Every structure is written in C-alpha cells, then in structure tokens.
C-alpha cells in the first residue's frame, strides 16, 4: 500500500524529467552500440558511411514517431481533461446553494468515474465530525449522512490534501462507510474560508484502484476553491438568518420568530385541537440586577434563566426572548388549570437561589396569560392580551400571574388616554401640591409636613397620586413632575418662612428614576439655592427598594445629601428588601413605618410586635420614627406608648391646600420640632 500526499503544484515536471532521462539513456546506448556493431560488420569505408547515414535517418524517424505518440497521447488526455472540466463548469457555474453542491458531487462522480463524491462541513470548533452538504454514491444522492473524522481517511486532510490509490478499507478498518461501500481508493482536499481556516472538505472515493493522481488532485483543487466560496457564503447567510430569527444572548427565538411559530401553530389547529396558552414573562427588577451585576454578568443571568425555563418546558413548547427582561412561551394545554400550573412552575424555578459574581440572587417574574382561541384567534391579538395580563400582574404587586379578561383591554385604553393627558398636564399647570402635617406625639404640635401632588384635571374631581404616579414613573414623566414638586415645595416653604410663620421641615418623595438616572444631590442643591430654602428644612423620602438597588452608589448619594444638611427618610419601611441591620450602612435620619403594619393595630398581635420592634431598634440606631396612615385614636395611643416620634394620617389631618395649611400654621404658632 502506498500513500502520496498531494502537492499544491501538479508533478508534471518530475514525469517530464524521467521521460527525458530515459530517452537520453536509450539514445546514448543506441549510438554507442550501433557504431561498434557496424564497425565490426562493415569493412568498406564508403559502405560504412552509407549505412551510418541510414542509421541516423532511422533514429530520426523512430524518435519522431515516439515523440508523436507522446505528444498525441498528452494532447488527447489534456483535451479530454479540458472537456470534462468544461462540462463540469457548465453544469455547476449557474447554480448556488444546495443545487450547486448537488450538481458538484454528481459532476465529480461522472467526470472522474468514481463511485462516491462528497462535500461536507466540519461540525463544532474541534472539527471532529463532518456534516455532509451533499453526497453522491453509486448514482444516488444520500440524505442526512455524517461521519466521525477519527479512523477515517478524512482525518488525513488535516495536512491539506490526501490521495490513497488503493487499500483504503484495509488502512481504515473501523470506517463503517468504507466497509459498506467497499471503497479502495480515496482522494480529498480541505475547504478553506477567506481567512485560511478549515471549514469543510471535498472528496471522492472509488471501489477500484485510483489512477492519475495529478489529474484527480487538480480537479479537486480547482473545484475546492469554488466550493469554499459557496460554503462560506451559505455560512454567512445562515449567520444572518440566525441573527434575524434568534436572540444573540440566549440563542432563543426572538419575537419575530415566535410570532411565526404561533401563526403556524394556529394554522394547523382544528376544532378538536387542544387550546394553547400564550404567556409573556417579565422579570421583576431585572434592570436593578443589571445595574449591579454589569453587562457581562447580566447576559450570564439571562442564559441561566432561559436554561431554567427550558427545563420546565416540553419539546412541543416554544420559548423565546422578546427583549431585555421579557420572555414569551407557547404551551399546549387541556384546560386553564394547566396554564396556571405551568406559570407556577416557571415562577418556582426562578425563585431557586442563584449565585452570580459573588451575589445570591432571588428572582421573581410577572406573568400574563392569554388562551387560544378563547382570548383571540390572531397572533397579534393574543400577544396584546397576554401583555395586558402581564401589566395587570405588575399592578397587583408583581411576582405572580394573571389570566387575560376583556375588561383589561378597556383598562389599557383608559391608561393610554390618561398618559396622553398626563403629557400635557405639566405645561398646562394642572398639578397642585397638598401638604399633610405630621404631629409630634410628645409635644402634641405640628412638626413637619409631606408634600403630596394631585392632578386638577379640568371638569373632573382631582386625580389622587396613586392613580397617575405609577404611570408617570413608567413613562418617564416622573422626572419633570418630580422636579416640579421639589422646586414648588421648597419655594412654598420658603415663602411661609418669609411671612413669619413657624418654620417646618417639608418632606418630598424621590422616585427610583430620579434617584439613579440623574444627579439627585446636584438637583437638590440647585433647587435649594434658587429657592433660598435652608437645607435643614428639607427631607427627601426614598423607598426601601430604591435604597437596595445599588448599595454602593446609594451610600455615596446619601452622604452627599447629608453633607448638604438635607434629611433622608426611608419611606414604606418594612415592605421592601432591606432590614434594620442594613440601616447601619446608610446615613439615614428617619424612617416611616408602612401603613400596612399600622392598619391592624391594636387588634393584630403580629402588627403590634413588628411595629414595636421597629421603633425600638430604630431608636437604638438614633433614627427618628414616623408612622403614616393613622386613622384611629387607638393607633395613636399605641404608638405613643411605644415611643414613636411622629404620626401622619387622617386622624390628625388630611392633606391640605396651600391656604388651608397656612391657616393651620397661623393657628399653631409653635416653634418647630
């Protein structure tokens, strides 16, 4: 058995040298031997000269005949080679894609008179597997054929090209394809991309001994270049198609691909088909996690979430990623309870602890569910209704799921109308501030106030904050509205002081968007300077959830506010993600106990215990305690007995207009607390 590795240049020069040396040797021997023989046989000089002349002509005639045979044979084979090449080029030149490779393997098989022709691409980065692009074996195309490179002649192509004239079966006894097809000869070469990296191979195989290695190799080299270009083009098209239909972070289908899946699924449904649930899953507080973890770790988090969702889904389910923190799922069900169970499993898999970049994360999600065909028979309708249900879940406090019902559409329409009106409210000066006084329980006098915004929409009752502030935060309008509230409250407080009324500290709520997206300390400083209000008469209120979104950044901002002399108060304490132990990290001067703990006092034992503990621990940390939502005398008495510093609620006073609060200040005429 002989093995010849192909060279990049055909070895015609070596053949020509061998022929020339053989001819030179034969000619030399002819001249020497013929002269000696003639000299021995012919004595007469004239006769000898004549015979030598005839001998020379005979040599010329024989040499010419031999040269003719060699040239004629070369021209014949060259012409046949060129004709085969021409037919192959004509057969494949106009083709692209799969048709090109199918015609290529056919033409290679017919032109080179081989039993098998194959074009394949390497699978995976390690190139240990070959996925065939086209295979033509014994007159038939083979579909879904693949092979492992180990123990295969294809493995020899790592060095460029390979030619095995005979004995391929014996040399590679573990190659099942070679044994089944009874292959003897093999020739192949690598397909390289434009950067020179291997991406596939082109090869032919024969059940007989292979001859003409130079011609075979030249054929393969010529068409390898064309096959490489086409294979690289197809790879680029596949990459572009993948980018168009798949999410680049998780590899999941994107929104466009999911919609097409949904349309195809609905097109194949009959009256007897099972219903389907379309679910939209929005990750709660993902943007906060993203800010803390950074871009790279956020992508790792998304991949882990998609892996968990896949583990809870069947092969029939379709899982997609729509955007930064939104996933979509298509799930076949027998009844709505199946959809609810699936949503609960998705929520449960998220709640399992996840450790990333040194942090232990606990994830939750808001899920909206629309059922086909009950909630819609069009993809757009189902997605819209699932989105409405998801938004409803958020409104209900997140971390759960909601089924769509028709009234949600009306609510969404009302929200859209409200948003349009909200955009114009600020420029039309439709907002107004109300001030709710805070009562010092020890002295029984006013000791501060909270500025609350209301919306005086023309022709209607004033719109309370709870009805439009969440929408303002979602749309980003909270930024200009929040700045207006801060500036107006500081200006009004300064005006009352200029009128000689008792100075009071005014508390203003700061949203998460204001706190992190803008330099809140710089804004507060600018407002205090422009209004002339002393920083000691301003308190900013932030919620626990805002406090814990980015602890390092929060600490820096709060220290700047404290250095300015502005009081920082934690609003709705007890409902977020922090605890009293965390308060040691922050420069906090006051906290507000959330009204949810106050409502059950004094009847509820747990509410009493929690409230008392908060007051005691806060005082140990030298933090002032304010209780809001006080509506009954029993609540006031309990809080006073536990040492609560201030209360705020309808028991003492509802939010007051500017004029009403001025009258209250006039009636009190008491020094500030």
Q: Indicate if the pLDDT at residue 9 is higher than 60.
A: no
Inter-residue contact 134 to 98 (CB < 8 Å): yes
Q: What is the pLDDT of residues 373-392, one digit of tens each?
A: 888 889 999 999 999 889 88
The mean per-residue pLDDT over the stretch 188-212 comes to 87
pLDDT tens across 659-672, in order? 999 999 998 765 54
What is the model's pLDDT at position 624?
Answer: 95
pLDDT beyond 60 at 307: yes
pLDDT at site 54? 77
**Which residue has better confidence, 429 or 74?**
429
What is the SS3 string spanning 510-547?
Answer: CCHHHHHHCCHHHHHHHHHHHHCCCHHHEEEEEEHHHH
- Given pLDDT bands bounded at 50, 70 and 90, which one contains residue 623? very high
Q: Is the pLDDT of residue 270 over 80?
A: no
**Is the pLDDT score of 635 beyond 80?**
yes
Q: The dihedral of CA 286, 544, 538, 535: what is its sign?
A: negative
What is the per-residue pLDDT for 147? 65
Percentage of residues in the chain with pLDDT exceeding 70?
87
pTM over 0.85: no
CA–CA dist 291, 310 (Å, integer): 26
96-105, 255-264, 480-489: segment of lowest average pLDDT: 96-105
The answer for residues whose C-beta is within 8 angstroms of residue 143's C-beta and 6 or more apart is: none
CB distance 108 to 219 below 8 Å: yes
Calculate the alpha carbon distances from 488 to 236, 543, 569 in Å: 59, 21, 19
How far apart are alpha carbons 653 and 484 in whole angstroms? 24
Q: Copy the structure tokens of residue 606.
A: 């747990």
Confidence (pLDDT) at 531? 95
Mean pLDDT of 273-284: 90
Burial class (CB in 10 A: 0-12, 13-18, 19+), 444: exposed
CA torsion, points 406, 410, 413, 419, in degrees to nearest 10? -120
Q: How far apart are CA 323 and CA 249, in angstroms?
A: 11
Q: What is the mean pLDDT of the chain?
A: 83
For range 327-349, the mean pLDDT: 91
Phi, psi of 274 (to 5 degrees): -70, 150
Q: Determine the pLDDT at residue 6.
A: 37
Backbone angles phi, psi at 130, to 5 degrees: -115, 125
Q: Can you name the residues that pair with 449 across neighbouring β-strands?
A: 437, 506
DSSP states along 539-592: EEEEEHHHHTTSHHHHHHHHHHHHHHT-EEEEEEETSSS--GGGGGGS---EEE
Highest mean pLDDT of the ranges 40-54, 601-615, 624-638: 624-638
Find the helix packing angle between 520-531 and 551-564, rounded to 10°: 20
Give the pLDDT score at 398. Answer: 83
If pLDDT is split at 50, 70 and 90, which confidence band does 78 have?
low
pLDDT at 479: 86
Question: What pLDDT is attached to residue 236?
Answer: 83
The CA distance from 104 to 92, in Å, is 6
- In this model, does residue 89 exceed pLDDT 70? no
Mean pLDDT for 426-454 is 91
Q: Report the range of poorest mean pLDDT among 31-45, 326-340, 450-464.
A: 31-45
Question: What's the mean pLDDT in 430-442?
Answer: 93
More confident residue, 439 or 594: 439
Q: How confident is the model at residue 106 (pLDDT cuts 50, 70, 90)?
A: confident
d(C-alpha 624, C-alpha 618), whole Å: 7
- What is the rounded average pLDDT of the residues 278-292? 85
Q: At what angle do helices 465-475 and 478-498 cross, to 10 degrees?
A: 130
Residue of 644, 628, 624 lying closest to 594 (CA atoms): 628
User: What per-residue confidence (pLDDT) applies to 417?
Assistant: 64
Q: What is the pLDDT of residues 308-326, one digit of tens each?
A: 999 999 888 999 999 888 9
My answer on whether omega of the bond before 373 falls inside 30° of 0, hence cis, is yes
- What's the confidence (pLDDT) of residue 324? 83
Which of the two residues, 165 and 585, has the higher pLDDT score? 165
Residue 276 pLDDT > 80, yes or no? Answer: yes
Q: Using pLDDT thresholds of 50, 70 and 90, give the confidence band for residue 492.
A: very high
User: Residues 627-634: what's their mean pLDDT?
Assistant: 92
Task: Kindly state the percentage of the chain with pLDDT values over 90.
Answer: 31
Tell me, what's the pLDDT at 158? 66
Provide CB contacts within 8 A for 32, sequence distance 6+: none
Instruction: Quick: pLDDT tens for 516-561.
Output: 766 789 999 999 999 999 999 999 999 877 777 777 788 889 999 9
Examine the pLDDT at 622 and tell me if it is beyond 80: yes
Count other C-beta atoms under 10 Å from residue 92's C-beta: 23
CA-to-CA distance for 616 and 91, rounded, in angstroms?
Answer: 90
The model's confidence at residue 336, banded by pLDDT at 50, 70 and 90, is confident
Residue 215 in this model has a pLDDT that exceeds 60: yes
The confidence score (pLDDT) of residue 572 equals: 83
Of residues 204 and 88, the one with the higher pLDDT is: 204
């Amino acid at each position: 058995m002989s093995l010849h590795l192909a060279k990049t240049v055909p070895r015609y020069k070596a053949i020509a040298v061998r022929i020339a040396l053989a001819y030179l040797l034969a000619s030399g021997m002819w001249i020497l031997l013929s002269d000696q023989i003639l000299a021995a046989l012919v004595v007469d000089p004239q006769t000898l000269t004549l015979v030598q002349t005839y001998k020379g002509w005979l040599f010329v005639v024989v040499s010419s005949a031999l040269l003719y045979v060699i040239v004629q044979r070369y021209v014949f084979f060259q012409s046949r080679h060129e004709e085969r090449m021409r037919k192959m080029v004509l057969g494949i030149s106009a083709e692209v894609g799969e048709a090109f490779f199918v015609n290529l393997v056919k033409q290679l098989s017919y032109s080179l008179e081989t039993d098998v022709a194959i074009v394949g691409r390497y699978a995976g980065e390690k190139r240990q597997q070959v996925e065939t692009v086209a295979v033509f074996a014994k007159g038939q195309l083979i579909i879904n054929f693949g092979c492992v490179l180990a123990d295969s002649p294809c493995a020899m192509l790592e060095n460029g090209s390979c030619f095995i004239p005979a004995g391929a079966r014996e040399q590679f006894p573990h190659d099942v394809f070679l044994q089944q097809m009874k292959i003897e000869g093999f020739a192949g070469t690598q397909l390289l991309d434009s950067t020179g990296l291997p991406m596939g191979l082109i090869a032919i195989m024969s059940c007989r001994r292979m001859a003409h290695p130079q011609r075979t190799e030249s054929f393969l080299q010529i068409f390898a270049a064309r096959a490489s270009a086409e294979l690289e083009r197809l790879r680029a098209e596949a990459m572009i198609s993948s980018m168009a239909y798949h999410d680049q972070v998780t590899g999941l289908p994107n929104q466009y691909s999911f919609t097409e899946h949904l349309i195809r699924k609905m097109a194949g449904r009959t009256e007897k088909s099972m219903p389907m649930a379309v679910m939209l899953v929005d990750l709660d507080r993902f943007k906060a996690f993203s800010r803390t973890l950074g871009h790279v770790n956020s992508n790792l988090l998304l991949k882990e979430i998609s892996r968990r969702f896949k583990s809870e889904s069947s092969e029939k389910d379709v899982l997609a990623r729509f955007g930064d923190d939104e996933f979509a799922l298509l799930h076949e069900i027998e009844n709505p309870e199946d959809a609810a169970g699936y949503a609960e499993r998705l929520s449960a898999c998220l709640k399992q602890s996840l450790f990333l970049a040194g942090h232990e994360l606990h994830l939750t999600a808001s899920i909206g569910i629309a059922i086909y065909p009950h909630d819609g028979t069009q993809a757009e309708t189902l997605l819209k209704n699932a989105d409405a249900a998801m938004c409803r879940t958020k409104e209900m406090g997140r971390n759960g799921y909601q089924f769509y019902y028709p009234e949600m559409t009306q609510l969404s329409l009302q929200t859209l109308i409200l948003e349009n009106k909200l955009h114009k409210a600020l420029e039309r000066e439709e907002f107004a501030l109300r001030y709710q006084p805070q009562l010092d329980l020890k002295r029984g006098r006013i000791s501060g106030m909270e500025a609350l915004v209301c919306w005086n929409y023309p022709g209607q009752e004033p719109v309370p904050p709870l009805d439009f502030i969440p929408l303002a935060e979602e749309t980003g309008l909270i930024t200009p509205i929040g700045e207006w509230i801060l500036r107006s409250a500081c200006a009004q407080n300064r005006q009352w002081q200029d009128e000689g009324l008792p100075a009071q500290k005014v508390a203003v709520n700061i949203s998460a968007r204001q706190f992190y997206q803008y330099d809140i300390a710089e804004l507060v400083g600018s407002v205090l300077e422009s209004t002339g209000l002393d920083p000691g008469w301003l308190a900013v209120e932030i919620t626990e959830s805002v406090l814990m979104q980015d602890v390092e950044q929060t600490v820096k901002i709060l220290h700047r506010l404290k250095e300015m002399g502005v009081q920082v108060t934690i609003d709705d304490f007890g409902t977020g993600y922090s605890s009293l132990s965390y308060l040691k990290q922050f420069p906090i001067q006051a906290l507000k106990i959330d009204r949810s703990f106050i409502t059950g006092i004094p009847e509820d034992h747990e509410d009493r215990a929690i409230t008392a503990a908060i007051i005691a621990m806060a005082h140990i940390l030298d933090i002032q305690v304010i209780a809001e939502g006080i509506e009954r005398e029993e609540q006031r008495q309990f809080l006073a007995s536990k040492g609560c510093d201030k209360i705020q609620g309808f028991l003492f006073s509802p939010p007051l207009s500017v004029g009403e609060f001025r009258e209250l200040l006039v009636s009190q005429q008491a020094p500030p607390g």
